[in-house]
């Protein structure tokens, strides 16, 4: 008798083949059989009318800190994610010396907007080396699986100290030490190495991060660790100031190690054709037998602006800033006062003051054609008629008045697509989703606490791309499931999951596609030190199973904790081979 039999569902098995009807049997945390009419189970689940898919394998999150205090890894686990990988964008918390803990928390706050006080309250720092950090993660009970990569910023600070913070070039000895520590991390189960080479990643004081200007010989030297262990992937976020330079050293790492190399791919208002040039370079490398891949997002990466968020169009106005220290509901109450409204709307910064702001804040201060109303359910592919500027023109009001009044509606936020919205629709994302040189990622779960919440992207892949899209073609559900299960799992060597097949791990979602819906984002205070963050709830997951145990049923947590730290087995095999 099986432990669980899921009967009569529409199986989308993660392989990319068309959905089919049948049963799935689970025994001992593994899938025992798929398809047809199967024998009895200790528990039998009627899945008639439901999609049955593998659990989502989300390979781009930032739960490096949250994994220490949140056994659920929410909100990702609410959205059917059963494996979450972090250590992305070059930020992390190991290795670390005691005197550098504050610097690493500052870097995480500056790059990923996870507040320093939250991290200070939530991390026990019972580690120095990366293997010790992994052991600390492994000790904690959890609902879903997690996986880690070693990040360049803590590695560089650990080896070089203040020289890293000053972005000095690494010496040959520095590079050798960083390489050896990366080998150590890979051998204890890290799934790769990541770095950051973008001006958008800065410390809270506005300084560029330690890895921003690392030279190619440093990156190639550290990357050689992947060839030693024959494991892991090399990941990067870059501005591609010099595309030829970046592509040359990435190709060299891929060629010399034989390991996958990936970088983040987005379209940008400042250079709309950049993503096409880069994906062309990916195809050229792959034609040469090099494992180069572009990691892309399933929807625009967009900042939400409202009361209590990191930014909104009025945060540059002194009369508004005077209220920001108040609790959110008190802010809302004060902002509803007609005299306060009049004063803030009249308090327009001068062009000279706006020019002093960082470029991104300049846009937030006055680009009302780029801000959209979201609604509920939230619209992530809004037409131009939903922009604040268009609404203001129709209603014969100023854009400032429209933005102010909309923000005061309970729980409403303006939406500013920062990247992946150059064409004003999802056309480029559609092309990327159909491109074999692209890997789906960039949900950024756990990051950008008061400006972005994209942890619900795995759900959005089905609701928008398979069911609801109106402004362009849709995609078949089997392709969308494959994109975030077998493709992400296999790219990183998670070969025991990502498909519904006998012998594989029983990570499974049962989904009512008709009822599946992401809710509008909301701000809660549920982190250490009463820190606030955006979350996004969801309806329509009838059940999520991890390692054969139901962890959610109709949106309610069951109390089960079958999750664990997953260690890359290839590193262990390399040790055995020696």
pLDDT in tens, 65-123: 999 999 999 999 999 999 999 999 999 999 999 999 999 999 999 999 999 999 999 99
User: Domain range for residue 45?
Assistant: 2-55+507-557
Answer whether residue 501 is part of any domain: no
* pLDDT of the residue at 348: 78
414 shares its domain with 536: no
Find all residues with CB under 8 Å of 429, minimum gap 6, and list them: 296, 297, 298, 299, 300, 420
Distances (CA, A) of 316 to 18, 116, 302, 413: 52, 23, 19, 17
168 shares its domain with 101: yes
Answer whether residue 242 is part of any domain: yes
393 shares its domain with 542: no
Q: Which two tokens stand for residue 434?
A: 């159909």
* pLDDT of the residue at 572: 42
Answer whether residue 264 is part of any domain: yes
pLDDT bin (cut points 50, 70, 90) of residue 353 is low
Q: What is the mean pLDDT of residues 291-319?
A: 94
CA angle 563, 76, 556 (to 5 degrees): 75
* pLDDT of the residue at 352: 65
How many Cα atoms sit within 13 Å of 9 on the Cβ side?
28
160 shares its domain with 246: yes
pLDDT at 538 over 80: yes
Among 395, 418, 441, where does a domain finish?
418
Answer whether residue 161 is part of any domain: yes
pLDDT at 561 over 90: yes
48 shares its domain with 177: no
Distances (CA, A) of 14 to 44, 84, 201, 425, 483: 22, 17, 34, 28, 8
CA–CA distance, 37 with 512 (Å, rounded to integer) = 21
Q: What is the mean pLDDT of residues 200-229?
A: 96
* Chain centre distance of CA 247: 24
Bridge partners of residue 268, in order along the sequence: 271
| Lookup result for tokens 């039999």 | 5
Q: What is the mean pLDDT of residues 171-187?
A: 98
* pLDDT of the residue at 529: 97
239 shares its domain with 362: no
Answer whether residue 576 is part of any domain: no
pLDDT bin (cut points 50, 70, 90) of residue 355 is low
Answer whether residue 405 is part of any domain: yes
Greatest Cα pair distance in the chain: 75
* pLDDT of the residue at 364: 64
Per-residue pLDDT tens over the stretch 241-274: 999 999 999 999 999 999 999 999 999 888 999 9
Among 418, 443, 461, where does a domain finish?
418
CA–CA distance, 136 with 151 (Å, rounded to integer) = 17
341 shares its domain with 481: no
CA–CA distance, 376 with 504 (Å, rounded to integer) = 38
pLDDT bin (cut points 50, 70, 90) of residue 357 is low
Answer whether residue 212 is part of any domain: yes
pLDDT at 566 over 60: yes
Instruction: Give the mean pLDDT of the chain.
Output: 95
pLDDT bin (cut points 50, 70, 90) of residue 316 is confident
φ, ψ of residue 482 in degrees (nearest 5):
-60, -40
pLDDT at 576 over 50: no
pLDDT bin (cut points 50, 70, 90) of residue 360 is low
348 shares its domain with 461: no
CA angle 467, 469, 471 (to 5 degrees): 160
CA angle 155, 82, 14 (to 5 degrees): 110
217 shares its domain with 105: yes
227 shares its domain with 288: yes
Find all residues with CB under 8 Å of 556, minimum gap 6, and list them: none
pLDDT: which is higher, 104 or 352: 104
Among 400, 418, 436, where does a domain finish?
418
Answer whether residue 497 is part of any domain: no
pLDDT at 320 over 70: yes
Per-residue pLDDT tens over the stretch 22-50: 999 999 999 999 999 999 999 999 999 99
* pLDDT of the residue at 363: 63
pLDDT at 574 over 80: no
pLDDT at 570 over 60: no
Q: Domain count of the chain?
A: 3
111 shares its domain with 191: yes
Query: The domain spanning residue 16 has which CATH number?
Result: 2.30.40.10
| Lookup result for tokens 């950051």 | 196
Query: The domain spanning residue 81 has which CATH number?
Result: 3.20.20.140
402 shares its domain with 523: no
| Coil vs helix vs strand at 566 | coil
Nearest Cα to Cα of residue 561 among 544, 571, 546, 573: 546
pLDDT at 362 over 80: no
pLDDT bin (cut points 50, 70, 90) of residue 6 is very high
Per-residue pLDDT tens over the stretch 457-494: 999 999 999 999 999 999 999 999 999 999 999 999 99
* pLDDT of the residue at 410: 77
Bridge partners of residue 517, in order along the sequence: 539
* pLDDT of the residue at 575: 38
């Amino acid at each position: 008798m099986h432990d669980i039999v899921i009967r009569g569902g529409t199986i989308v098995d993660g392989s990319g083949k068309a959905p089919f009807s049948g049963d799935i049997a689970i025994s001992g945390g593994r899938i025992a059989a798929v398809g047809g009419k199967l024998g009895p189970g200790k528990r039998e689940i009627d899945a008639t009318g439901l999609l049955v898919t593998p659990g989502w394998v989300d390979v781009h999150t930032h739960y490096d800190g949250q994994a220490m205090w949140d056994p659920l890894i929410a909100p990702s686990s609410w959205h059917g994610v059963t494996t979450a990988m972090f250590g992305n964008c070059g930020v992390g918390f190991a290795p670390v010396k005691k005197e550098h803990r504050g610097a690493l928390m500052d870097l995480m706050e500056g790059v990923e907007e996870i507040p320093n006080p939250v991290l200070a309250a939530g991390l026990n720092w019972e580690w120095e080396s990366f293997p010790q950090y992994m052991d600390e993660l492994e000790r904690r009970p959890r609902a879903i699986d997690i996986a880690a990569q070693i990040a360049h910023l803590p590695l560089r600070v650990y080896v070089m100290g203040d020289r890293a913070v000053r972005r000095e070039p690494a010496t040959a000895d520095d590079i050798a030490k960083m390489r050896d520590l990366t080998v150590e991390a890979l051998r204890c189960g890290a799934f790769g190495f990541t770095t950051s080479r973008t001006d958008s990643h800065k410390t809270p004081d506005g300084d560029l991060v330690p890895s921003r200007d690392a030279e190619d010989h440093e990156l190639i030297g550290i990357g050689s660790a992947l060839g030693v262990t024959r494991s892991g992937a090399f990941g990067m976020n870059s501005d591609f100031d010099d595309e030829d330079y970046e592509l040359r050293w990435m190709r060299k790492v891929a060629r010399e190690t034989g390991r996958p190399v990936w970088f983040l791919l987005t379209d940008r208002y400042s250079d709309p054709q950049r993503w096409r040039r880069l994906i062309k370079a990916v195809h050229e490398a792959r034609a040469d037998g090099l494992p180069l891949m572009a990691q892309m997002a399933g929807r625009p990466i967009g900042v939400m602006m409202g009361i209590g968020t990191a930014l909104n169009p009025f945060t540059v106005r002194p009369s508004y800033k005077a209220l920001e220290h108040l609790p959110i509901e008190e802010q809302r109450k004060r902002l509803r006062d007609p005299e306060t409204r009049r004063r803030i709307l009249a308090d327009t910064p001068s062009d000279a003051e706006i020019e002093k702001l960082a470029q991104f804040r300049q846009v937030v201060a006055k680009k009302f054609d780029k801000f959209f109303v979201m609604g509920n359910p939230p619209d992530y592919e809004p037409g131009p008629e939903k922009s604040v500027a268009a609404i203001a023109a129709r209603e014969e009001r100023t854009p400032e008045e429209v933005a102010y009044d909309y923000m005061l509606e309970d729980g409403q936020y303006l939406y500013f697509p920062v990247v992946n919205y150059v064409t004003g629709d999802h056309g480029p994302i559609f092309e990327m989703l159909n491109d074999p040189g692209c890997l789906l990622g960039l949900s950024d779960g756990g990051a950008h606490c008061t400006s972005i919440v994209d942890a619900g992207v795995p759900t959005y892949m089905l609701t928008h791309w398979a069911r609801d899209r109106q402004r362009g073609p849709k995609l078949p559900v089997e392709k969308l499931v494959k994109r975030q299960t077998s493709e992400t799992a296999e790219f990183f060597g998670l070969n025991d999951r990502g498909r519904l097949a006998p012998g594989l791990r029983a990570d499974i979602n049962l989904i009512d596609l008709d009822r599946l819906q992401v809710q509008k984002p909301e701000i809660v205070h549920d982190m250490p030190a009463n820190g606030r963050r955006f979350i996004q709830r969801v309806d329509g997951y009838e059940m999520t199973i991890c390692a054969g145990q139901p962890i959610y049923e109709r949106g309610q947590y069951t109390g089960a904790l079958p999750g664990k730290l997953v260690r890359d087995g290839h590193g262990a095999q390399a040790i055995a081979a020696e």
